[in-house]
Amino acid sequence: MEIDNLFEHTLNHSESEKELFEYLYARFLYLTRRKVSNREDCEEIVQSALLSVFDNFRKVQIDKSYANWAFRILQNKIIDYYRSGKNGMQLEPIFDNTATLAEDPILKIKLLDCLNKINRANITHARMLVLKYQGFSFEEICTRLDLTKNNAYSVLSRARTMLQHCLDKGEIK
């Protein structure tokens, strides 16, 4: 969907507001493509975020930065996308039990918390886990993370160990 089609959603915008939304559309799309591999899902996330911005930008009291507020909406839409499971993450092989994320909401919350902790501790480990369970081939992961195959196996092993420890103990070692 083009920005003009999105812009038809609201009719009372000035030319400067239209330019702002065009900028946001391009920036949102760029940032979302870095985090979501499926182009159709990227478009859907960006459209949803922009519609939220359209609907609320005049209603909310923004204390610090308009850009931060708008990008926070986008970030929340991306998080919602990953939480929805539309990205095809299959994390069950890490666990010894047969519980799935869809069946166990506590496990899902715990997993997201652990992934955030791993991301703060070592972003390469977190990216490795996410890319692996999004279904990327090992060669694609090596290319995306700029790792040799042997190094990537070590990173994946350490990342899985970190995740399992965090799920068991609630902390990163």
CATH number at residue 132: 1.10.10
Is-above-0.85 flag for pTM? no
Calculate mean pLDDT across residues 157-167: 87
> Which H or E element spans position 43?
helix 39-56
Query: What are the tens digits of pLDDT across the range 95-119?
Result: 434 345 556 677 778 888 888 899 8
Calculate mean pLDDT across residues 30-34: 85
Torsional sign, CA 105, 109, 111, 112: positive
Phi, psi of 95 (to 5 degrees): -95, 150
Instruction: Give the CATH number, domain containing residue 13.
Output: 1.10.1740.10
Residues 113, 49 within the same domain = no
Give the per-residue pLDDT at 100. Answer: 54
Region of 172 on the Ramachandran plot (φ > 0 left; ψ -120 to 50 alpha; else beta): beta
Could you give the CA distance from residue 6 to residue 9 in angstroms, rounded to a whole number? 6
Do the Cβ atoms of 64 and 70 come closer than 8 Å?
no
Calculate mean pLDDT across residues 147-158: 85
Give the per-residue pLDDT at 111. Answer: 84
Give the per-residue pLDDT at 69. Answer: 82
Could you give the CA distance from residue 45 to residue 76 in angstroms, rounded to a whole number? 10
Look up the domain containing 25 and give its range. Answer: 3-84
95 or 71, higher pLDDT: 71
Q: How many domains does the chain have?
A: 2
Retrieve residue 48's tokens: 């949803």
Calculate mean pLDDT across residues 37-63: 81
Residues 146, 102 within the same domain = yes
**Is the pLDDT assigned to residue 9 strictly greater than 60?**
no
**Is the pLDDT assigned to residue 89 strictly greater than 50?**
no
Confidence of residue 5 (pLDDT cuts 50, 70, 90): low
Could you give the CA distance from residue 143 to residue 137 in angstroms, rounded to a whole number? 10
Retrieve residue 79's tokens: 């998080």
Residues 75, 101 within the same domain = no
Residues 9, 80 within the same domain = yes
